[in-house]
Amino acid sequence: MKKIIYSTIIALIIPFLSPCQNWQGLGTGTSIEVYCLYTDTTTNALNAGGQFNIGGVPYLGIAKWNGIVWDSIGSGLPCFPLFDIIRYKNEIYVAGGNGGGINKWNGSSWVSVGSGLNIIGTVSPIAYHFSIYNSELYVGGGFDTAGNVPANSLAKWNDTTWTDVHSLPCYDITQNGINSIIMYQGEMYASGYFDGIGNDIVKWDGTAWQTVGGGIQGVMDLAAIYDMAIYNNELYVAGTFTTFEGNVGNLIQKWNGTSWSDVGGGMEGITLGGAEIHKLIVFHNKLYAMGLFSQAGGIPASNIASWDGTNWCSLGSTFIGEIYGGAVYNDTLYIGGDFATIDGNSLNHIVKWTGGNYVDTCGHINVGVNEIETSDEVNIYPNPATNQLIVNSEQLLVKEIKIYNVLGEMILNDPETSSGQNDKSVKIDVSGLANGMYFIKLEFENTSISKKFIKN
């Protein structure tokens, strides 16, 4: 899996109405990216993993936050980033790419777990994800052997020995593997980066591994599942896949045990292929999606959005950089990533949500719902536009045009169409708009669509 290697940064500057600080840093933050967060209820600490130091102190990839200050866990683990953290049998386990992919803290030192994970050839084994079922630790990643036992990217550890998990079919583990493991409706689901019969997601039905509704469509390395979560009794999967590749959702879709369905239009980025969801978290009866995107369900949302089962809502902030991980600690949402600023404030890679007064958006404008169906019928150009934007409809009479900024605020209601002079081609003066991204909503007789454009 290459979800951490991709590090595209959105550099779109968006003005917000509220000057309030809605996110609070944790001390001085970390030197570089935070990839995972884990709430350790045994010690009441938030553990952060990556490949970083804090305040110049060599925490080396892992540190714990007690709500006030950072503390180290031993001398840390050099030479590789950590992708997941969990407590098992009263010891802290970490997943990454060194020491056989798995290490644990025994209370006094970091040690390898058994003889670790292995892979034939020159590629190093990697562990990405932990889950605990029936008092055993399940590990997903890219490897072909756990200890001395053949295991294709999925294995389990009982604190003594490694065991294969139902002989998962062999995929190209030198380039990809299992990113997430979850139990849903009594069956084990494994997802990640792999083609073949499973197409990035399979389930064990008690007898054999089965494909899940045809899996995820798309070219390997461009379509993948990074995380899974259960919300309102449905299984949500998220990653890099799109409807353009033949999937029902953009970056996110849900499975009810029988079929896939869309999640409110999903997410989009500023550029094609420049969007992805890394993490899903259920918090206060909402599903939070985090990663790299500029829209959620057609509304402006910078890298994080919440889903209530009906609508997507933004949190009214602008992130410069991706969000990789998240956790709930002391009933507060914490996130980590490669972001260095939020709303223009310097906040280094890890923050907590403080709320307060902020501008959110919950489905105020319906961008993208009909865009695919009508893209050949309605065009806007030039895009980017400098002084004039032309709306051209081959078959539909434009009755009203409205332009919204990225906050969902209407900033222009075109006088030509509003006064009843509807036509199939309309010219709009956008010379007075500030440079940036906008959404244009086009009203027709029986439908409306929305598209985005850039003002230069």
CB 129 within 8 A of CB 139: yes
* Tally of domains within the chain: 2
How far apart are the C-alpha atoms of 34 and 51, rounded to whole Å? 7
Asked if residue 287 and residue 382 are part of one domain, the reply reads: no
**CA atoms within a 13 Å half-sphere pointing along the CA-CB vector of 304:** 29
Within the chain, what is the greatest distance between any pair of CA atoms?
78
Asked if residue 330 and residue 414 are part of one domain, the reply reads: no
How far apart are the C-alpha atoms of 276 and 388, rounded to whole Å? 32
- Residue range of the domain that includes 427: 371-455
Does residue 324 fall inside a structural domain?
yes
Asked if residue 384 and residue 347 are part of one domain, the reply reads: no
φ, ψ of residue 416 in degrees (nearest 5)? -60, -50
What are the tens digits of pLDDT across the range 159-173?
999 999 999 988 766
Which of 353, 388, 410 is the last residue before a domain boundary? 353
What does the pLDDT read at residue 20? Answer: 40
Does residue 75 fall inside a structural domain?
yes
Q: For residue 237, what are the β-bridge partners?
A: 228, 253
pLDDT at 54 over 90: no
Asked if residue 385 and residue 345 are part of one domain, the reply reads: no
Task: Determine if residue 352 is left, alpha or beta; phi over 0 gives left, psi from -120 to 50 gives alpha, anything else beta.
Answer: beta
Does residue 1 fall inside a structural domain?
no
Both tokens of residue 443? 């009203």
Asked if residue 378 and residue 349 are part of one domain, the reply reads: no
Asked if residue 331 and residue 185 are part of one domain, the reply reads: yes
As a whole number, the mean pLDDT across the chain is 83
CATH code of the domain in which 380 resides: 2.60.40.3080
What are the tens digits of pLDDT across the range 84-127?
999 999 999 999 876 678 999 988 998 889 888 988 666 788 89
What does the pLDDT read at residue 444? Answer: 74
For the entire predicted model, the pTM comes to 0.77
Does residue 9 fall inside a structural domain?
no
CATH code of the domain in which 47 resides: 2.130.10.10
> Residues for the chain: how many in total?
456
Tell me the CA end-to-end span of the chain in Å, nearest whole number: 37
What are the tens digits of pLDDT across the range 268-307?
986 555 799 999 999 999 999 999 999 999 888 999 999 9
Asked if residue 161 and residue 114 are part of one domain, the reply reads: yes
Sign, CA dihedral 11-13-14-18, equals positive
Does residue 184 fall inside a structural domain?
yes
- CA geometry: angle at 277 spanning 273 and 281, to 5°? 170
Does residue 8 fall inside a structural domain?
no
pLDDT at 9 over 50: no
Which of 353, 388, 421 is the last residue before a domain boundary? 353
How far apart are the C-alpha atoms of 113 and 271, rounded to whole Å? 42
Which of 324, 353, 382 is the last residue before a domain boundary? 353
Asked if residue 274 and residue 212 are part of one domain, the reply reads: yes
Asked if residue 165 and residue 89 are part of one domain, the reply reads: yes
pLDDT at 14 over 50: no
Separate counts of helices (H) and strands (E) for the chain:
2, 44
Asked if residue 176 and residue 205 are part of one domain, the reply reads: yes
What does the pLDDT read at residue 273? Answer: 58
Does residue 310 fall inside a structural domain?
yes
Asked if residue 323 and residue 391 are part of one domain, the reply reads: no
What is the residue type of 413?
N
Asked if residue 250 and residue 150 are part of one domain, the reply reads: yes
